[in-house]
Amino acid sequence: MSVAAETGRPRSWRIPFDSLCLAAVVCELRALVGARIQRVLMTDPHTLVLAAYGHGSERWLLLSCHPEFARVHLIARRPVAVEPTPSLVQALRARAVGARLLRIEQIGFDRILEIGWEGAEGAHTLIAELMGKHSNLILVEAAGKVVACAHRVPPAKSRRPIVPGQPYLRPPFAPKASLLKAADGDDLSGLEGASPFLVALLAAKRAAGEPDALAQLANVGRSGSWRPVVSPGHGVYPVSVAALGIPEHPRESLSEALEARFAEEIAQSRSHPLKSTLLAQLGRVKLAREVALAGVREAELGSSRAARLQRMGELILSGLSAIPTGAAEFQTLDYEGSPILIPLDPQLDAKENAAKLFERARQAKARAKGLKGQEDRLASDLEAIMALENRVAEADGIEGLEELEREARVRRWLQREVTAGPKADRPYGGHRIRELLGPGGVRVLYGENATSNDYLTTRVGRPSDWWLHVRGSTSAHVLIPTNNQPDRIAPEALEFAALIAARNSPSRHSSLVAVDCTLRKHVRKPKGAPTGAVLYTHEKTLHVRPAV
């Protein structure tokens, strides 16, 4: 009976690279003893590769101190080196290249591997500590001092610093008896090399009628008669895992199986953030197209009112003598003899009201030109974005996602990549300020936190820029740069910016949100106010639907 059956709950095992895996790999690596180290390189900040030539062939040994994928095994494919050359690689090239490997051994039954050689620079040891987030690769000289390491650990961060020039100290663990020296029936928890997975596997074997499972495992370790298996969806192990109720397939080489398994896992780990990034960026582009399309359709409706606005202005001019100063409306007959009520601005005289209506009619006519073609282009673009968004959501492998990323970049749907540099050299002083492209190509900026909002409003914004904020609530500060021409920002661009403010506020799920809009020159930060807190005047309020 498997452990899953015993507990009544199925368990999805992730097979670790534990002490037993390391012991089995060391058996394979012993064939490298006597080989000459020819090359040293790193493929990423965590992964070191040694090329050793012996017995008529070159072998590649990978050692990784990745916090999630720490491991050691041989690899079949020559890797690509990372640039620039890390200090650990430089130190190893100076001290190891040309030397012969003298020993490759596991320390006790722990997850620590030592590789020793003696060359022109004397005896050195490369130590691989494969301990989750504390994993490290450390080069130590004969006197016991650290020469170089993959990850420096200063005294301020640990009671056991790992710093070049300082003595190397083993991990400060209390001495433990090895699991392989325990007797069947002993409590295995707390023993050296007793990973939760291995303890569960031994318990499952005993429950399945193998009372001497631990003794058999110790014999395998002494004789080196490992029988590696691959369990799809779970991992690779040097002995059978069938007792846990999970499928397995035998493999000839543990290193070969580990190389394939970790290549797949690392690709999956890379694909998940890429998928999230693509979906987030495509979502923002889709929002921009949706707002722009809504603006075009609204403009089409407005253009149909151009003739009515023109007639209303003409009727006002024809009835100037009947309109008193400060009137809020004017009732008259239209050209067909039907009654019509024309709203007026009491602050303007009759001629000014007529001129205002003529200007609105002119703007409506101007917007009508080319609106149909613009609507078709936006609708087609939106449909293509949504189709790509669906393909990204359904994609699995990193290769497919990278191809979709290239497609999106060719279509200019992704933001331009910016290489990270010193904070002062990065855009907006390193503050988290996002930039979107709104209707008509208008740039829309917004802050992602209080300090970014503060910087955007007080340092980036110019007096004539449009500034938006959710009314009576916390929200992102949103800015539309206008190049001193705020009147040229179309209403649909302001609505797009208002949606950004609403969707970056606690009211993001509300059906209707009030967003205030004013010029930056009417926004001020009171002395002593908290970061991001401002006062503003001369605002007008837009109502948007962020949840739609």
Per DSSP, helices labelled H in 246-370 are: 254-303, 306-318, 350-368
Q: Is 538 helix (H, G, I), strand (E, B) or coil?
A: coil
d(CA 206, CA 250) in angstroms, rounded, equals 22
Question: What does the alpha-carbon distance between residue 194 and residue 189 come to, in Å, rounded to a whole number?
Answer: 6
pLDDT tens per residue, range 452-507: 999 999 999 999 999 999 998 999 999 999 999 999 998 889 999 999 999 999 88
Residue 340 near residue 333, CB atoms below 8 Å: yes
Nearest to 299 by CA among 370, 381, 380, 382: 370
Dihedral angle over CA of 204, 209, 214, 218, nearest 10:
-120
The confidence score (pLDDT) of residue 415 equals 61
Cβ pair 141, 94 in contact under 8 A: no
Looking at residue 227, what is its pLDDT? Answer: 96
Closest to 179 measured CA to CA, from 220, 225, 134: 220
pLDDT at 2: 36
Between helices 398-410 and 254-303, what is the axis angle to 10°?
30
At residue 536, the 3 state secondary structure works out as strand
Tokens (6 digits) for 17: 């690279």
479 close to 446: Cβ distance less than 8 angstroms: yes
pLDDT at position 340: 92
Which pLDDT belongs to residue 10? 42
Look up residue 456 and give its two tokens: 């955007």
**pLDDT tens-digit profile of 348-394?**
999 999 999 998 888 777 666 656 667 788 888 888 998 898 888 88
Strand order in the sheet with 235-237: 235-237, 229-231, 249-250
Q: How far apart are CA 18 and CA 64, in angstroms?
A: 13
Neighbours of 120 (CB within 10 A): 9
Q: Print pLDDT tens along the chain (548 aa).
A: 333 433 334 456 889 999 999 999 999 999 999 999 999 999 999 999 999 999 899 999 999 999 999 999 999 988 888 878 899 999 999 999 999 999 999 999 999 999 999 999 999 999 999 999 999 999 999 999 999 999 999 998 888 999 999 999 999 888 889 998 888 778 888 899 999 999 999 999 999 888 889 999 999 999 999 999 999 989 999 999 999 999 999 999 999 999 999 988 887 777 678 888 888 888 888 888 887 777 677 666 666 677 888 889 999 998 998 999 899 999 999 888 889 999 999 999 999 999 999 988 887 776 666 566 677 888 888 889 988 988 888 887 777 888 888 888 888 888 654 444 444 445 677 888 998 888 877 899 999 999 999 999 999 999 999 999 999 899 999 999 999 999 999 888 999 999 999 999 988 888 888 999 999 999 999 888 888 899 999 999 998 888 65
Angle (CA) 27-28-30 rounded to 5° is 70
Task: Quote the DSSP letter at residue 339.
Answer: E
Residue 253 CA to residue 540 CA, distance in Å, equals 71
Reported in sequence order, the residue ranges of 6-91 that DSSP labels E, i.e. its strands, are: 36-44, 47-54, 57-64, 71-75
Report phi then psi at 309, rounded to 5: -65, -40
Instruction: Name the nearest CA neighbour of 486 among 459, 520, 457.
Output: 520
Q: How far is residue 115's CA from residue 127's CA, in Å, rounded to a whole number?
A: 6
* Helix, strand or coil, per DSSP, at residue 369: coil
Cα–Cα distance, 137 to 112 (Å, whole number): 10
For 244, other C-beta atoms within 10 Å of its C-beta total 23
DSSP 318: H
Of 130, 135, 127, 138, the C-alpha closest to 165 is: 138
